């Protein structure tokens, strides 16, 4: 079983909270709040996304590299993670 399936409820709850934060940005823009307030909301979303990303990367590393059943599975897991990190850092 995949670690994302095992943690589905927890991960889904985090994504819903992030969606709520993004909605708050939209509401702030519609209400014409000051730029500092909007920037604070954006920073909060970025922090939440970074936290979710770090958690998923950590779980991927644990399940698909450290605890992988074979060297080929470890290599595949490591390659996938490297690709995600490259995309993340762009």
Domain CATH code at residue 44:
1.20.58.1000
Let me know: does 57 contact 77? Beta carbons within 8 Å.
no
pLDDT per residue as tens, the chain (90 positions): 567 778 899 999 999 999 999 999 999 999 999 999 999 999 999 999 999 999 999 999 999 999 998 999 999 999 999 999 999 888
3-state SS, residue 66: helix
Range of the domain at 52: 3-89
Whole-number pLDDT of residue 87: 92
| Number of domains the chain is built from | 1
How many other C-beta atoms can be found within 10 angstroms of the C-beta atom of residue 64? 19
Let me know: does 55 contact 3? Beta carbons within 8 Å.
no
Whole-number pLDDT of residue 6: 81
Whole-number pLDDT of residue 5: 77
């Amino acid at each position: 079983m995949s670690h994302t399936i095992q943690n589905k409820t927890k991960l889904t709850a985090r994504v819903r909270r992030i969606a709520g934060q993004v909605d708050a940005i939209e509401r702030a823009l519609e209400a014409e709040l000051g730029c500092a307030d909007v920037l604070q909301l954006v920073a909060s979303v970025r922090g939440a996304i970074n936290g979710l990303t770090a958690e998923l990367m950590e779980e991927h590393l644990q399940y698909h590299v450290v605890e992988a059943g074979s060297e080929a599975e470890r290599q595949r897991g490591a390659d996938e993670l490297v690709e995600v990190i490259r995309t993340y850092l762009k």
